[in-house]
Each structure stands twice: as C-alpha cells, then as structure tokens.
C-alpha cells in the first residue's frame, strides 16, 4: 500500500485538489470550445454529442478516480511514483493530438477551436485515462468500476452516433441541417463578419 503523501506529479496534484476543483477544471476546458467559437466564428455551437454531453461523462469518471486518490492508502500504479513516465504519457498524448489534428482538420472544416480541442482537450483526457483508469480498477469499489465502465461505454456510443450522423464535422452538419452560413460561404462584400442565415 502506498500512502497519498508519496504520490508524485499529476497524482499528487489531483489528490491535493478538492474533487470538485478537478471536475471544474475539466468542465471549463471543454465548455471553452463553444464560447471560443462564439468569439472567433460569430456564434456558439457544439452539435457533437460526444463532445458535450459526452465529455462530461468522462469528467465524472475522472472525479471518481480523484476521490479514490484522497483515501489514506491505495494500491499503487506504475505511474504514480515515476514523474518521467507521466511526462512521457503527456508528450505522446500531445503528439497524438497534433497528428490527429493535422490529418483530420480539413475533413472537419476545422477552425481554431477544433485545433484547441485536438491539441489540448484530447491529450488531457487521453492522459487522464492512462493515469486514472488503473486507479479505479485497482482501488475502486465494484460500484465505481461498473459506473466508470458504463459512462465510458456511453461516451463511445455517442462518438459512434456522431460519426454515423456526420455531426463530427460540425460546420458541414450545420450547413446541411440548419442553413448556417460561415464567412467563407458569403460574398466578399461582407468582409470578415460571420452571420447565421436560415434557409426556409
């Protein structure tokens, strides 16, 4: 058994922070996306179901693990006392996010907040999955494990729904279903302003 005080890196930080703060930071990181779209693209939107509410399900999983880390002792994982391994996971997750963004950005008609999602949000959640899922499965109660599994499965189903419905390319989906027009869709005289036009 490894005492909480012996944790290092991200484990020490999560065990030190109140659970609600961990959840609030993660929620802020994902709700920043539609807000940023409102600033940079003219109006707020988020039609991907795996993003919101999907990512909120993953926040709950992270909060389960954060609560477990606050217990006096727990079965250690391979990462909790090796900071260099944590940095390696974070670096690989960031590289994955960058490569994913470069490969898919054109197909998704991507904008600045899509890049933010790929190189910030995706690496955060991917790294937390590597760090925290072993904590839940090695130390959590049966109910924690079952709920975590169900929440992750539901997120995967929402992702499959997005892929099947075309919501993963949000701007194109908005064009087709709601007649939303973006700057590149408008005549040059409109300048740099975005606006929304509904086709009836």
Structural domain containing residue 7: 2-190
Is 197 inside any structural domain?
Answer: no
DSSP 7-47: --HHHHHHHHS-HHHHHHHHHHHHHHHHHHHHHHHSS----
Is 171 inside any structural domain?
Answer: yes
| Phi, psi for residue 97 in degrees, rounded to 5 | -60, -45
Q: Strand pairing partners for 76?
A: none
Is 167 inside any structural domain?
Answer: yes
User: What confidence category does residue 148 fall into, taking pLDDT thresholds of 50, 70 and 90?
Assistant: very high
Give, in order, the Cα–Cα distances in Å from 49 to each of 4, 149, 181.
36, 18, 21
Of 184, 45, 49, 46, nearest to 109 by C-alpha is: 184
pLDDT computed for residue 197 by the predictor: 43
User: What confidence category does residue 93 fall into, taking pLDDT thresholds of 50, 70 and 90?
Assistant: very high
Q: What does the buried/exposed string (b/e) look like for 144-169 if buried means 16 or more CB atoms within 10 Å of the residue's CB? A: bbebbeebeeebeebbeebeeeebbb
Task: Say whether pLDDT at 80 is over 80.
Answer: no
Instruction: Give the best-scoring range by mean pLDDT among 15-29, 44-58, 103-117.
Output: 15-29
Is 92 inside any structural domain?
Answer: yes
Q: Extract the tokens encoding 131.
A: 């760090």
Distance CA 77, CA 10 (A): 13
Which residue is listed with tokens 């993003």? 51
First to last CA, the chain: 65
Distance CA 91, CA 94 (A): 5
The number of folded domains in the chain is 1
Is 200 inside any structural domain?
Answer: no
Confidence (pTM): 0.82
Element (H, E) at 3: strand 2-3
Of 79, 88, 78, 71, nearest to 141 by C-alpha is: 71
């Amino acid at each position: 058994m490894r005492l909480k005080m012996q944790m290092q890196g991200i484990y020490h930080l999560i065990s030190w922070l109140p659970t609600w703060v961990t959840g609030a930071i993660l929620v802020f990181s994902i709700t920043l996306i539609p807000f940023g779209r409102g600033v940079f693209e003219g109006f707020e939107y988020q039609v991907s179901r795996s993003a919101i509410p999907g990512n909120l399900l993953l926040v709950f999983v992270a909060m389960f693990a954060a609560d477990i880390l606050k217990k006096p002792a727990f079965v250690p994982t391979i990462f909790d006392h090796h900071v260099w391994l944590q940095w390696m996971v974070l670096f690989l997750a960031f590289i994955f996010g960058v490569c994913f963004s470069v490969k898919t950005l054109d197909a998704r008609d991507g904008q600045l907040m899509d890049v933010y999602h790929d190189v910030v949000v995706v690496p955060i959640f991917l790294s937390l999955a590597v760090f925290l899922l072993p904590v839940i499965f090695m130390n959590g109660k049966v109910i924690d494990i079952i709920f975590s599994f169900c929440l992750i499965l539901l997120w995967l189903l929402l992702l499959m729904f997005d892929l099947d419905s075309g919501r993963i390319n949000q701007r194109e989906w908005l064009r087709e279903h709601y007649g939303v027009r973006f700057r590149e869709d408008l005549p040059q005289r409109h300048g740099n302003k975005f606006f929304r036009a509904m086709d009836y």
